[in-house]
Amino acid sequence: MSVRTRFAPSPTGRLHLGNARTALFNWLFARKHGGKFIVRIEDTDRERSTKEFEKNILEDLRWLGMEWDEGPDVGGGKGPYRQSERLSIYKSYAARLVDNGLAYNCYCTKERLEGLRKTQLAKGNPPRYDGMCRSLASSDAPANIEPAIRFRVPEREIRFIDGVHGELSFDTSAFGDFVIVGSDAIASYNFAVVVDDALMEITHVIRGDDHLSNTPRQILLFDALGLKAPSFSHIPLVLGKNKLPLSKRDRNGSIGELRGEGFLPTAIVNSVARLGWSPEEGLLGLDELASAFALEDLSNSPAVFDVERLKSFNREAIKRMDDDALFASLGLIARDGLFKEAVLEIRANASTIPELKDIINSVTGSIPYDEDALAVLSEPYARAVLTAFSDEAYTSGLLDGTAYNRIIAEVKKKTGEKGQRLFLPIRYALTGKKEGVELVNILKLIGKIEALKRIKRFI
């Protein structure tokens, strides 16, 4: 059997971490088994679906490194790959169920259904259709109402083996006859996904626990249509720091937002991969993750997204970046070898590219001096340290690591100062801050002329 997985987003919002994890696990499973990964757009929600969101989702997937074998923009032999372009297919399969007595026309109005729901809830019962139109003769059908089509749910127990949760069972008495095609001729999610998964020959479905309640309905439809159901694996939802499920309308959890904040794709992929799975430690490539991936290793407990862990992965990703790519992302041109050397050394201080840029700008840009800095710099001992440093730096060539160590040793010898009384005046004079980038790297970034200029202000 050739493995075929799919990621089927609804273009009603940006790609968020939970959906990115679903896409990633399906991609990893397909690649692990030499199979195909399909992207299908479930855009039948006409009010909220937009082409812009579809474009964003596809761009974010590609940016993360997950290319697909079949999809709306690459084609394939099982298309179309947008549900809005498959309505006639759903209509024909729904008609087959009606002809076989497995589905029926329902003329109940929205008002009646809403009243039924409220009555059932008021009695403490779960809302379900009462079967009013189940035995309605066609001759008794109202002429002025466009019917929906409901599936005739049989009384039975549904059992299946879930790849994450193990054996599960559901009794169909828990839900009534459900709509498979609305009165607007739009197929319901459960019906469309069954027809699509069957015709696209999907073998494995990996998705969130929020779809677990849909699975028994979908298995009933597979059986009624005489179609082969895929293997199902349901993964617990990803929670935010508030312990609530992440939503595609939650900006803080969207891939686009993280991308804009300077997080790199490999860091996001590694962080997402560990939401309910525990591959080996360290920053791993997609191929390494695919090689290690196994459904039986997935956790059945909810995973909480940890931004600090993401930052840790991003620091490692920045450290591994190609030097030219790093400078291009920073929008910098190396002025000299020492400047470049300093940037490459301080990149370990930053969690994101913008943060690294801010660190560099805070050193190379204009320097504000607050009251604490000015108080220290006005002390006689501070002026003595700065004078000695200026004299030694003036006679030195490039202010590299070797020169810096020699200068500091001479200043210490001349002034007798050490510890903060030695280093703090120099740091304050050069940066206006008490802490930050190592002094040797500050000198490499700003160069000898600028360093002497800043120091002489306080002598």
CA 40 to chain centre: 18
First to last CA, the chain: 79
Nearest to residue 248, comparing CAs of 65, 84, 81, 56? 56
Q: What is the C-alpha separation between 180 and 148, in angstroms, rounded? A: 8
120 and 103 Cβ atoms separated by less than 8 Å: no
Q: Which of 248, 319, 357, 453 is catalytic?
A: 248
56 and 15 Cβ atoms separated by less than 8 Å: yes
Q: What is the C-alpha separation between 306 and 8, in angstroms, rounded? A: 25
Q: What is the C-alpha separation between 106 and 9, in angstroms, rounded? A: 29
In degrees and rounded to multiples of 5, residue 231 shows phi and psi of -80, 135
Task: Please tell me whether residue 40 adopts helix, strand or coil conformation.
Answer: coil
Name the DSSP class of 187.
Answer: B
In degrees and rounded to multiples of 5, residue 126 shows phi and psi of -70, 140
Q: Among this protein's residues, is 248 annotated catalytic?
A: yes
- What b/e string do you get for 144-170 counting C-beta neighbours within 10 Å, with b at 16 or more? eeebbbbbbbeeeebeeebbbbeeeeb
Q: What is the C-alpha separation between 222 and 351, in angstroms, rounded? A: 48
332 and 360 Cβ atoms separated by less than 8 Å: yes
- What b/e string do you get for 54-76 counting C-beta neighbours within 10 Å, with b at 16 or more? bebbbebbeebebebebbbeeeb
Residues facing residue 22 across a β-bridge:
none
- The catalytic site residues sit at 248
